[in-house]
Structures are given as C-alpha cells and as structure tokens.
Amino acid sequence: MYKNDKVIRRYSESFKLKILDELTTGKLNKNQLGKLYGINPTTINEWIRKYERKDLMNTRIKVETKNEITLIKELQKEIEQLKKLLLKKDLDAMVLDSYLEVAAEKLGYKNVIELKKKLNI
C-alpha cells in the first residue's frame, strides 16, 4: 500500500439514520458516537444537514434578563464616554506640547527638553 492510498468508506442510508436516531436519544453525543463507530463527528454533521435534522445541530442560546441588557447598554455608553475623554486628554497633551515648542523657540532654547529642565516639568 502506498502513502497516498486512502480508505474511502461508504455508509448505507440505514446506518446513517441509525446513528441519527442514537443521537436523538441523547445518551451519546457526536464525539462519543464517532469514537464508538469510527466516524468523524464532522461526517455526522453532514448527515444531520443532509437529512435536515436541525434539532440535532449544536445551537447556542443566550438568555439575558432585562437588567443584564440594561447594564450592557449602560456600560457601552460609559465606554464611549471614556473614549471621548481619552481623546480629549490626548488632544490637550498635543496642544500643551505645541505651546511648549513655541515657548522654547521664543525664549531661545534649543528644544523643549531644555525648557522643561529649566522649568522642572
């Protein structure tokens, strides 16, 4: 046998339906059934899609109370306010740096660092 030779397995319709029935009972999940019968869980997912058994697909449901939703909205507003404050602070720092550059130039210092040393900033 060569390295590239693959074993292709074909499953009968009745076998596929049997696996889906076992999954329906809930005793075993896809991974457990896959190990038991030597089937990749993604193959089981394909059978679920093929036979339109959406009830067997993993679904995620997020349950939130009204208080949680309100809290999330309030926190999102607070985050936006904090972003705006941070932006304002950054702009204020840029303006201050610009003032210091102009002041250093007008007072005859080589750069802002010399002015800051002189002023102990």
CA-to-CA distance for 48 and 51, rounded, in angstroms?
A: 5
- Burial of residue 11 (CB within 10 Å: 0-12, 13-18, 19+) is middle
Distances (CA, A) of 53 to 47, 98, 106, 117: 8, 66, 79, 75
Total-model pTM: 0.43
> What are 56-98's pLDDT values in tens digits?
777 566 777 888 889 999 999 999 999 999 999 999 999 999 9
Q: How far is it, in rounded angstroms, from Cα 116 to Cα 91?
A: 20
